[in-house]
Amino acid sequence: MSLSDKTAIVTGAGSARGIGRATAHALAAAGWHIAVLDVNEASAKDAADEIAGRRGVRSFGIGCDVTDETAVGAALDVLGGSAPPVGALVNNAGVTSPTRFLDVTGEEWDRIFAVNVRGAYNITRQVAPTMAERGFGRIVFLSSVSAERGGGVFGGVAYSAAKAAQLGFARALARELGPHGVTVNSVAPGLIDTDITGGALDGERKEELLAGIPVGRNGTVADVADLITYLCREESGYITGATYDVNGGSHIH
């Protein structure tokens, strides 16, 4: 199968200015059919319509709470009945939290892990077996520089811990699925201009953050989306278990 025969799922791609929607557009431009899964069904459908209109590929927008295993199964059933086989999965759905550890409640901790970690498990667990059976798959996790440097940008301890869990998840899964033609990689963005960070990129705070970035600017969603699209290529089959930093040099290790 060529990419024109495959669907790429991008979770949490409903936000108009988010990394997920930009990634869905970039994958569509590369020839993938697209499935947008988002907890906001209206946003998912809006993204799908926009992608189909601009890119000329088949695009599906489905409301889905990734923390609900049953809802994920139902969404995949919809795709299974109408979309080309799933060849790529981008685990983009996530929530952040700036709460200090000494203030974080157990409820908030569980919420952050439910979306970022359990949500990624719920859909990956259901998609990976069919990828392995077909002998081709590309899975990408959206982690964060916060997981590598220990917070310090926007996310607190709960967020950093959840995003670090994704890195371990991806690395171990890469070992397990490699023999079946499925690659698993992570992308760790730094300061990216999205709706989540936009409000904090003003005045002195913006100057302070940008002062620590060697390239002298915040990142764009396209900076991240282009890398994810590269990792999903058929030609990228010898890249797996890796973490790619997209942070302008703010964290070099």
Return the active site residues.
Answer: 159
Flag whether 162 is in a domain: yes
Flag whether 116 is in a domain: yes
Q: In what order do the strands lie in the sheet with 86-91?
A: 59-63, 33-38, 7-11, 86-91, 137-142, 182-189, 243-246
Instruction: Return the percentage of the chain with pLDDT > 90, whole number.
Output: 86
Flag whether 250 is in a domain: no
CATH number (domain holding residue 73): 3.40.50.720
The answer, yes or no, to whether residue 196 has pLDDT greater than 90, is no
| The total number of structural domains that make up the chain | 1
What is the predicted pLDDT for the residue at 199? 55
pLDDT tens readout for residues 2-56:
567 999 999 999 999 999 999 999 999 999 999 999 999 999 999 999 999 999 9
Flag whether 248 is in a domain: no
Q: Which domain holds residue 106?
A: 3-240
Flag whether 246 is in a domain: no
pLDDT tens readout for residues 116-138:
999 999 999 999 999 999 999 99
Flag whether 109 is in a domain: yes
Give the mean model confidence (pLDDT) for residues 195-221. 77
What is the predicted pLDDT for the residue at 195? 66
